[in-house]
């Protein structure tokens, strides 16, 4: 992979150190006929940052600007304190000199090389003194030890993508870019590879910028979300905050959701249930094998939450949580979208406008949120 060569007086200052290295600062203005990317972002320096939006929103274009594959005339990029682009100083670090890894939708492995040789090829661009992720660690993280002697043609789609990710990690990147890495995989292969992506999140201190238009992937992997539409960032922040904002278009999608980080509190083997806890409140889910005290993530769809004015015990719904109404949106003529505060955790409920009127749902009202379904993500 290569980018344009640096030019002008800024070229001698390639890789200049700025700030304290704690975050990613990215500003890009890039225009084409019929489309313009115009973003100004301050992103965390670790965790998974999802670029989320519908097709044509600018996700891949933004990723290519971060990689240096597109050069924005109005561009600035600093990654963990190192300056990669500043057009005001005519400074531009080309792609091949940026310490980043890039994983595409297709694995693009060398067909004539074994898996091990493919991995070793990625090491050639990294001086030995700069290798912070040993090759053996990348192999172990992606679980590809049994595949090392195979040629790519003998791998499944999920296996090829795991090798591609390991190859990107072997370059010891300061930033890992992933452009819809699961888009070409079927449901079974996606489920095969997601646990490995979670391992990267848990075990490596590398910021990952992950492009996706799949809500389930974003809910499962992301810590931070940048919501894009028409080349602009509508919002950026922790996933629990962004996905619960009623002023953003995603909250009005049929699959609108919030994410709850919880802890496994206990298992009820008699009824095949597991009790999670978040903010001191219980959340029952179908039984799972995760050990007690482990951290998990759950997704709750707005359509699976109903409201009541009193705590009911004569219902099949197990999860009844005390909540307070924060805000309402009644743009839909037949339904009301309600944002709730449940002990400091945001929750969305989509109910009929008639129900909202009959219950007197207004901001500040104390209610009980009845959660009919919880999807355990990890």
Residue 230: inside a domain, yes or no?
Answer: yes
Last residue of a domain, one of 187, 213, 242: 242
Residue 129: inside a domain, yes or no?
Answer: yes
| Residue 175 clears pLDDT 70, i.e. is over it | yes
Residue 249: inside a domain, yes or no?
Answer: no
User: Domain check: are 190 and 261 in the same one?
Assistant: no
User: Domain check: are 349 and 203 in the same one?
Assistant: no
Q: How confident is the model at residue 375 (pLDDT cuts 50, 70, 90)?
A: confident
Residue 184: inside a domain, yes or no?
Answer: yes
Tokens of 179: 């452009």
The predicted structure's pLDDT at residue 48: 95
User: Domain check: are 262 and 354 in the same one?
Assistant: yes
Residue 199: inside a domain, yes or no?
Answer: yes
User: Domain check: are 318 and 272 in the same one?
Assistant: yes
Q: How buried is 129 (Cβ within 10 angstroms: 0-12 exposed, 13-18 middle, 19+ buried)?
A: exposed
User: Domain check: are 103 and 232 in the same one?
Assistant: yes
- The total of structural domains in the chain comes to 2
What b/e readout covers 271-302, taking b as 16+ CB neighbours within 10 angstroms? Answer: eeebbbebeebebbbeebebeeeeebbbbbbb
Q: How confident is the model at residue 19 (pLDDT cuts 50, 70, 90)?
A: low
Residue 61: inside a domain, yes or no?
Answer: yes
pLDDT tens digits, 84-143: 999 999 999 999 999 999 999 988 899 999 999 999 987 777 777 777 888 999 999 999
Last residue of a domain, one of 192, 210, 242: 242
How far, in Å, CA of 70 to CA of 78, rounded? Answer: 16
User: Domain check: are 237 and 264 in the same one?
Assistant: no
User: Domain check: are 221 and 276 in the same one?
Assistant: no
The predicted structure's pLDDT at residue 331: 85
How far, in Å, CA of 284 to CA of 61, rounded? Answer: 41
């Amino acid at each position: 992979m290569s980018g344009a060569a640096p030019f002008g007086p800024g070229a001698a200052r390639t890789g200049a150190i700025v700030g304290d290295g704690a975050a990613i600062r990215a500003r890009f203005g890039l225009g084409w006929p019929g489309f313009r990317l115009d973003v100004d972002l301050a992103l965390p320096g670790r965790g998974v940052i999802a670029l989320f939006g519908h097709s044509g929103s600018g996700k891949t274009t933004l990723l290519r600007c971060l990689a240096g594959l597109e050069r924005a005339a109005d561009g600035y990029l600093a990654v963990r304190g190192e300056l990669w682009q500043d057009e005001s100083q005519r400074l531009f670090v080309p792609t091949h000199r940026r310490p980043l890894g890039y994983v595409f939708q297709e694995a693009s492995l060398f067909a004539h090389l074994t898996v091990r040789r493919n991995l070793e090829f990625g090491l050639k661009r990294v001086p030995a003194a700069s290798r912070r992720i040993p090759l053996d660690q990348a192999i172990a993280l992606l679980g590809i030890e049994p595949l090392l002697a195979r040629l790519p043609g003998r791998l499944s789609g999920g296996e090829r993508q795991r090798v591609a990710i390991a190859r990107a990690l072997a370059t010891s990147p300061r930033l890992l870019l992933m452009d819809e890495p699961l888009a070409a995989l079927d449901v079974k292969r996606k489920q095969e590879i997601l646990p490995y992506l979670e391992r990267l999140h848990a075990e490596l201190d590398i910021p990952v910028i992950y492009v996706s238009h799949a809500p389930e992937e974003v809910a499962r992997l992301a810590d931070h979300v940048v919501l894009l539409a028409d080349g602009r960032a509508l919002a950026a922040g922790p996933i629990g905050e962004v996905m619960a904002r009623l002023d953003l278009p995603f909250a009005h999608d049929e699959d609108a959701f919030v994410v709850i980080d919880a802890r496994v509190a206990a298992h009820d083997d008699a009824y095949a249930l597991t009790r999670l806890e978040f903010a001191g409140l219980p959340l029952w889910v179908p039984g799972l094998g995760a050990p007690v005290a482990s951290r998990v993530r759950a997704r709750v769809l707005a359509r699976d939450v109903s409201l009541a004015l009193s705590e009911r015990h004569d219902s099949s719904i197990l999860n009844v949580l005390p909540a307070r109404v924060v805000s309402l949106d009644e743009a839909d003529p037949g339904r009301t979208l309600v944002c709730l505060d449940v002990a400091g955790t945001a929750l969305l409920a989509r109910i009929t406008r008639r129900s909202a009127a009959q219950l007197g749902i207004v901001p500040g009202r104390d209610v009980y949120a009845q959660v009919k379904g919880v999807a355990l993500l990890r």
